[in-house]
Amino acid sequence: MAADVHSKGVTWDTPNGNLAPVEHLPNSRSESPTPGLVEGTEPGAGQERAMFVHTQSFEDLTADVELTGSRPSETEEVEEKEQQREGEGGGGADTVDEPRQDVQAIVREKEEDVTSETWRSHKKHVFVLSEAGKPIYTRYGSEEALSTTMGVMMALVSFVEADKNVILSIHADGFRVVFLRKSPLVLVCVSRSGQSDGELWRELHYVYYQILSLLTLPQLQRVFQQRQSFDLRRLLAGSERVTAGLLRLLETDAGLMLNATMSLPLCSTTRNIVCTSLQAASSKNLVFSILLAGNRLVALIRKKEQHLHHTDLHLLSNLASSSSSFRQGEGWTPVCLPKFNASGFFHAHISYLEPSSDLCLMLVSTDREDFFNLSDCKQRFLERLKKRNAYQALKEALHSPTYPVSQVGIPELWHFVYKSKSSGLYTSPELPVPYRTEEEQERLMELYQYLHSRLHHPTRPLRSIYRCTNTENLLAWSTSGFELYLCFSPLATKALAMSAVTKLLKWIRKEEDRLFILNSLTY
């Protein structure tokens, strides 16, 4: 059985000559209403070269969904004042008590009874099925128990398609059902979270890319070409934790929404040593060397002309954090970076700098025989770091991976998220007291997502939006250089919010070499 799945022409490697084409970096700098803040000059902008594929924002992810309607050129500003929003964004009060998504919970969720009230009351379900209507993945409960449900979903999709239409979403009674068709797969999200269709599509795309990163697109297509009724769970076995981790990350990490990565705050001297040491520890077939502290980027070195996509980086970092097996020794695994090139595998050497450290090094190579070369690269990197006395400083920086918002010096400012568009990096302070619980943290993320979906609305995008609720006042602002989301105490006024932006931008500028990675090195 197994053999016939794999035997024919599996592209296990991404040959050197076959790396993704270089995407065009922005060279046209659009007019900006804020002098000095055009793309490339905003606080946190990288010098000269960018290290990531340049992405507009989430439309890059959903570009292939074909959201109807084109972008009008004029943008507007909007002010919203609402006491109680229903459904969208402000549903904090009536959120369901979701079980903590820790490891135990994931195990329990799989055993959940799909006819129970608990199962039905989950805020967000995610299903993946094959075009034959076979269940492939469910976030809660077991796939077997849901085969009828998934059969119905597929029937719905086919029914609409029979008329040459495409089903995108169904809105009903506080629920949204969003469909993503990615032949040979169908992905469905059933959500009560109040997120927009666009946000839910983005999340489904992530799940799709997650599957590609394990299998590659050609392999996925081949197994279904050979047998339409193939049970894909066989090939995805053991990846449940990876997917569960990703869905969790989507709810908590603004980087997945912004198409950006947070960097670990680090003094520039140490960062430079870390970067140059990593740069020096190169090997012929290395494409990316990535040093992460949790999901924060410490350093990224690239092969010349090659750019990493945020989606791929988030997938890599989620992969590393979802199995303790990388702490056991040095990991060596095939991995596809679907945004970079969905048709082949890279080979990743994944290990921690020390067994109990949070510093995870990922060395991505095109050569499946490269393990010992990369193992050697890691040793050379570590030796150099220690010789130049940067290792200790780096470890100390991990003790304060974030900063309190009070450093900015605006008392009414509770929290913010700032993305520098040209560097693809974002910075955000630690969550203040009102948002420490998991529910509150999710609620704030949902508010940001709401603002984000308004700024990036496919037909009516906004340049800025100011929104008042009972519990906080929010301001979101997008220019060609940055994207900024601010959360204020409900006592703050709009005038104060506007002046806070200027003050915050000044502060970020002052701190930029600590908060961002300003130079992008290649081997």
Partner 1 sequence: MTAMRVDAKVVMLGKESVGKTSLVERYVHHRFLVGPYQNTIGAAFVAKSINVGDKVITLGIWDTAGSERYEAMSRIYYRGARAAIVCYDLTDNSSFQRARFWVKELQTFEEHCKIYLCGTKNDLVEGDRSARQVDFHDVQDFVEEIGAQHIETSSKTGNNVDALFMKVAEDFSNSAFELLPEEKGVNLDPKKNSYLYTCCHH
Residue 354 binds partner 1, judged by CB under 8 A: no
- Give, in order, the Cα–Cα distances in Å from 487 to each of 246, 262, 451, 493, 508: 25, 18, 11, 12, 16
Nearer CB in complex with partner 1: 181/368:
368
For partner 1, which stretch binds (CB under 8 A), given 86-94, 254-262, 323-331, 396-404? 323-331
For partner 1, which stretch binds (CB under 8 A), given 186-194, 195-203, 324-332, 459-467? 324-332
Interstrand relation of 261-262 and 425-427 (parallel, antiparallel or unpaired): parallel
Residue 362 binds partner 1, judged by CB under 8 A: no
Q: How far apart are CA 128 and CA 135, in angstroms?
A: 6
Residue 107 binds partner 1, judged by CB under 8 A: yes
- The dihedrals phi and psi of 358, each to the nearest 5 degrees, come to -90, -5
* H helix runs in 13-58, sequence order: none
Which of positions 417-436 make contact with partner 1 (CB under 8 A)? none
Tokens 């990991």, located at residue: 331
Which of 25, 103, 170, 491 binds partner 1 (CB under 8 A)? It is 103
Nearer CB in complex with partner 1: 224/326:
326
Interstrand relation of 462-468 and 413-420 (parallel, antiparallel or unpaired): unpaired
Nearest distance, CB of residue 373 and partner 1, angstroms: 8
Nearer CB in complex with partner 1: 71/233:
233
Q: What is the CA radius of gyration of the chain?
A: 23
Q: How far apart are CA 184 and CA 131, in angstroms?
A: 6
Residue 436 CA, distance from chain mean position: 21
Nearest distance, CB of residue 274 and partner 1, angstroms: 19
For partner 1, which stretch binds (CB under 8 A), given 259-267, 373-381, 441-449, 482-490? 373-381
Q: Strand locations in 162-285, DSSP E?
A: 169-172, 175-182, 185-191, 261-262
246 to 285: interface string for partner 1, x by CB under 8 A: ----------------------------------------
Nearest distance, CB of residue 7 and partner 1, angstroms: 8
Burial of 426 from C-beta contacts in 10 A (0-12 / 13-18 / 19+): buried
Which of 99, 218, 334, 434 binds partner 1 (CB under 8 A)? It is 334
Residue 375 binds partner 1, judged by CB under 8 A: yes
Which of 23, 86, 383, 439 binds partner 1 (CB under 8 A)? It is 383
Which of 41, 97, 372, 400 binds partner 1 (CB under 8 A)? It is 372
From the list 378, 377, 372, the residue with the least C-alpha distance to 351 is 378
Which of 4, 6, 16, 36 binds partner 1 (CB under 8 A)? It is 6
Q: How far apart are CA 329 and CA 349, in angstroms?
A: 11
Nearer CB in complex with partner 1: 42/112:
112
Residue 120 binds partner 1, judged by CB under 8 A: no
Q: Coil, helix or strand for 474?
A: strand
How big is the site for partner 1, counted in residues (CB under 8 A)? 44
DSSP 379: H
Which of 57, 138, 210, 239 binds partner 1 (CB under 8 A)? It is 239
Nearer CB in complex with partner 1: 384/419:
384
Which of 116, 148, 328, 392 binds partner 1 (CB under 8 A)? It is 328
Nearer CB in complex with partner 1: 2/172:
2
Total length of the chain? 523
Residue 286 binds partner 1, judged by CB under 8 A: no
User: Which residues make Cβ contacts (< 8 Å) with residue 379, sequence separation at least 6?
Assistant: none
Nearer CB in complex with partner 1: 154/211:
211
- CA dihedral over 210, 215, 219, 220, signed as positive or negative: negative
Q: How far apart are CA 120 and CA 110, in angstroms?
A: 14
* H helix runs in 112-184, sequence order: 117-121, 147-161
- CA dihedral over 249, 254, 259, 260, signed as positive or negative: negative
User: Which residues make Cβ contacts (< 8 Å) with residue 91, sequence separation at least 6?
Assistant: 85, 192, 193, 194, 443, 446
Which of 380, 457, 463, 494 binds partner 1 (CB under 8 A)? It is 380
Residue 238 binds partner 1, judged by CB under 8 A: yes
Q: Coil, helix or strand for 360?
A: strand
For partner 1, which stretch binds (CB under 8 A), given 87-95, 146-154, 278-286, 330-338? 330-338
For partner 1, which stretch binds (CB under 8 A), given 61-69, 122-130, 187-195, 318-326? 318-326
Which of 189, 274, 319, 500 binds partner 1 (CB under 8 A)? It is 319
Which of positions 198-237 make contact with partner 1 (CB under 8 A)? 214-215, 234-237
Angle at 91 between CA 405 and CA 487, to 5 degrees: 20
Which of 41, 121, 325, 522 binds partner 1 (CB under 8 A)? It is 325
From the list 523, 489, 481, the residue with the least C-alpha distance to 505 is 481
Residue 128 binds partner 1, judged by CB under 8 A: no
Residues that bind partner 1 (CB under 8 A): 2, 5-7, 10, 12, 103-104, 106-107, 214-215, 234-239, 241-242, 319, 322-326, 328-335, 348, 368-369, 371-372, 375-376, 379-380, 383
